[in-house]
Amino acid sequence: MQTLMKNLVWVVVGIFGAACLGGIALNRGETINAFWFIAAAAGIYAVAYRLYAGWIVATVLSADPTRATPALRLNDGRDYVPTHRWITFGHHFAAIAGAGPLVGPVLAAQFGYLPGTLWLLVGSVLGGCVQDMVILWGSTRRDGRTLGQMARDELGPVAGAAALVGTLLIMVLIVAVLGLVVVNAMKHSPWGTFTVAMTIPIAILVGIYMRVLRPGRVLEGSLIGLVLLLAATVGGGWVAESPTLAPLFDYDGPALALAVIGYGFVAAILPVWLLLAPRDYISTFIKLGAILLLAFAVIILRPDMHMPAVTRFVDGTGPVVAGHIYPFLFITIACGAVSGFHALISSGTTPKLIASEADLRLVGYGSMVMESFVGIMALIAACVLDPGVYFAINSAPGVVGATPEQAVATISSWGFPVTVETMTALAKEMGETTLMHRTGGAPSLAVGMAHIFAGAFGQGLIALWYHFAIMFEALFILTAVDAGTRVGRFMLQDLLGNIYRPLGNTGSYVSTVICSALFVGAWGYFLYVGVIDPNGGINILWPLFGISNQMLAAIALAIATTILVKQGKLRFAWVTGLPMAFLAVTTTVAAWQKLFSADPRVGFIAGADTMAAKLEAGTLSAAQAAAAPQLIFNQRLDAGLTVFFILVLWVTIIEMVRISLRHTQGKSVPPLSEAPYVAMDQLTPRMAGED
């Protein structure tokens, strides 16, 4: 009877979530309240977590709470530590939650609120959450082995190498595109630039506090850092108003790009305790705090969404990211629904903390549910803006026209009325000189968040809320730049060490400097070209990043599918196999269009050829002509990269199919590398630690 009641409750929750989603989908009024999005999301997540994830854990993965996890078997008090499931959840969520799910949904809002909402919900519960959880399970069963090692063990050396090189290239693109987002947010914004610049001395101060003054007291240090950062956010307002100080923090894109590149290099070779670790502590607290604050504000304010359900830009002419809704909705949203990068975290530190296989669902599936919810909130923040304002902020000068008058005329002609006066007044309200052409998603997200915060907590401080939002985004983007460069440097040292042994020595200062410079040079190149591109750079770099990220997700799901087949779970292989097939096809279609589309804003080759033709005909301005050769070369390079990504993807999938077929035919395959079963109660108390 009790079970019946429980199931009935879940059925009701499911019907409620589905009804909210149906209401959203069928709504054709002028506006719709954000509350329905929160309700639909909560209902769908709850049912998926309870029923689908529960079924996968019990039936497909046969998770066994009596099986001792590596944290218990190998407990060394350092890497392997059995940890309470909520604390592991906190660590894992803090690790996977980055800028991606904030930026992607904001850019995808150009298609309207409906496509983004549907994919964030469906993609996460059927794809992203499943991937994170199954990889976490696979790694936990393999003593916490990494994705690359699992690829090599289960699929062979070819797939292993493909996963490794693919990962290194993704790191380059992630850091470049996030750098571009932060540069576009600071461009000609003394307030933003001052606040972001101040995060560096503040982090160093906190670093010294945590190491020298009060070693290891990370909460005290973080609190000091938070207070100083909020003071810097307020102080930025004074700087922006001061005629002597403001020019010191007023830079154009290329200058800021060079500053970020220089910063990235210095941060990568400085000791971790001085800059990276303290910055990460502060940024994690600000990140979680800002996300909670946003959720709270959306729930108490319940703003109306002004973006239409579906816009005309589903046809591929979108000014934010060019390309048809299929495949580019999926490529643009990326991390909020499915992120291949999470597979690296799920096979990194997290599996070494899992105390029981019963925790896999909360940590693996639950964290990704939260991440998708962050994506929904970012989408809400973008859609509460007037669509005309949203497009004026997010469209590049090369698409809508370089002057404010041209830009608003173009955007209004699309049926999204906006005026120069509106944009000027908005910029003034936010304490900025202009908000036009601020591509990259961060400024529009910050305007949306500022509206929501101000609406919920009082209108007076809207400029401060805007810069708080910019600071919050920039802070953890710069943490990603530091951390990404550091990991990239390690990967490069590892790789180059095979060619010339001394380069592989991670303790060597010379090798560190050389490999850091190489890695920073790689992402710095893409960042710089993105900044000088009149089409905004984001239009090229974000889809390229999305393709690489979804490619990695398909690779991770291919590894997961192989493991399931080899475990004799062929009839359940669709759980990872279907999302893998969808992502592989979508990524390949996207890559094909990025290569061969005749639209110069979509196709890399067409883009390069069009620009080369213009350069030859002499129709470009002097400034455009100077940048043109670099942009032409860059689009051809991007085309080459795209081909490479697709090759890596299909090599892995072919290996997966080959190994699976051989297994079903009873031929020899690489053996399952799963660690043998050890019962929980066979462990000595000492091995099990004191937890």
Contacts with other proteins by CB under 8 A lie at: 77-79, 84, 86-87, 90-91, 94-100, 146, 174, 178, 210-212, 215-219, 222, 272-273, 276-277, 280-281, 335, 339, 341-342, 344-345, 348-349, 479-480, 483-484, 486-487, 490, 506, 545, 549, 686, 689-690
Nearer to other proteins, 95 or 470 (CB): 95
Nearer to other proteins, 36 or 89 (CB): 89
Q: State the CB neighbour count (10 A cutoff) for residue 328.
A: 30
Cα torsion 319, 321, 324, 329 to 10°: value is -130
Closest separation in Å from C-beta 397 to other proteins:
27
- H-helix segments, 567-670: 574-596, 604-617, 622-664
Separation between Cα atoms, residue 316 and residue 398, nearest integer Å: 16
Nearer to other proteins, 79 or 252 (CB): 79
Nearer to other proteins, 40 or 97 (CB): 97
Closest separation in Å from C-beta 545 to other proteins:
8
Closest separation in Å from C-beta 484 to other proteins:
7
Nearer to other proteins, 41 or 334 (CB): 334
Closest separation in Å from C-beta 111 to other proteins:
21
- Three-state DSSP at 33 gives strand
Q: Which of 123, 230, 68 minimizes the C-alpha distance to 115?
A: 123
Q: Which of 620, 644, 642 minimizes the C-alpha distance to 631?
A: 620
Across 101-229, the runs of DSSP E, i.e. the strands, are none
State how far Cα 473 lies from the chain centre: 12
Closest separation in Å from C-beta 590 to other proteins:
18
Closest separation in Å from C-beta 409 to other proteins:
36
Residues near 414 by beta carbon (within 8 Å), at least 6 away in sequence: 312, 391
C-alpha distances (whole Å) from 84 to each of 19, 245, 350, 568 are 36, 49, 12, 32
Question: C-alpha angle with apex 38: 33 to 41, nearest 5 degrees?
Answer: 130
Contact 184, 477 (CB under 8 A): no
Q: Which tokens hold the place of 36?
A: 């329905």
Separation between Cα atoms, residue 439 and residue 253, nearest integer Å: 12
Cα torsion 173, 178, 181, 187 to 10°: value is -100
Q: Which of 67, 61, 532 minimizes the C-alpha distance to 253?
A: 532
Separation between Cα atoms, residue 133 and residue 53, nearest integer Å: 9
The conformation of residue 83, written as its DSSP 8-state character, comes to B
C-alpha distances (whole Å) from 428 to each of 372, 434, 435 are 33, 8, 9
Separation between Cα atoms, residue 493 and residue 503, nearest integer Å: 6
Q: Which of 450, 543, 471 minimizes the C-alpha distance to 173?
A: 543
Nearer to other proteins, 440 or 484 (CB): 484
Q: Which tokens hold the place of 88?
A: 């592991």
Nearer to other proteins, 373 or 465 (CB): 373
Nearer to other proteins, 352 or 566 (CB): 352
Nearer to other proteins, 25 or 94 (CB): 94
Closest separation in Å from C-beta 487 to other proteins:
5
Closest separation in Å from C-beta 415 to other proteins:
34
Closest separation in Å from C-beta 181 to other proteins:
11
Closest separation in Å from C-beta 503 to other proteins:
17
Closest separation in Å from C-beta 110 to other proteins:
20
Contact 675, 65 (CB under 8 A): no
Closest separation in Å from C-beta 301 to other proteins:
26
Separation between Cα atoms, residue 40 and residue 22, nearest integer Å: 9
Q: Which tokens hold the place of 169?
A: 């290239």
Nearer to other proteins, 96 or 396 (CB): 96
Nearer to other proteins, 79 or 315 (CB): 79
State how far Cα 231 lies from the chain centre: 28
Nearer to other proteins, 42 or 168 (CB): 168
Separation between Cα atoms, residue 324 and residue 312, nearest integer Å: 10
C-alpha distances (whole Å) from 350 to each of 145, 363, 545, 680 are 11, 9, 25, 19
Separation between Cα atoms, residue 429 and residue 431, nearest integer Å: 6
Across 167-310, the runs of DSSP E, i.e. the strands, are 304-305
Closest separation in Å from C-beta 554 to other proteins:
17
Closest separation in Å from C-beta 272 to other proteins:
5
Q: Which of 73, 89, 83, 86 minimizes the C-alpha distance to 691?
A: 83
Nearer to other proteins, 98 or 607 (CB): 98
| Whole-number CA gyration radius for the chain | 25
Nearer to other proteins, 171 or 385 (CB): 171
Nearer to other proteins, 49 or 273 (CB): 273
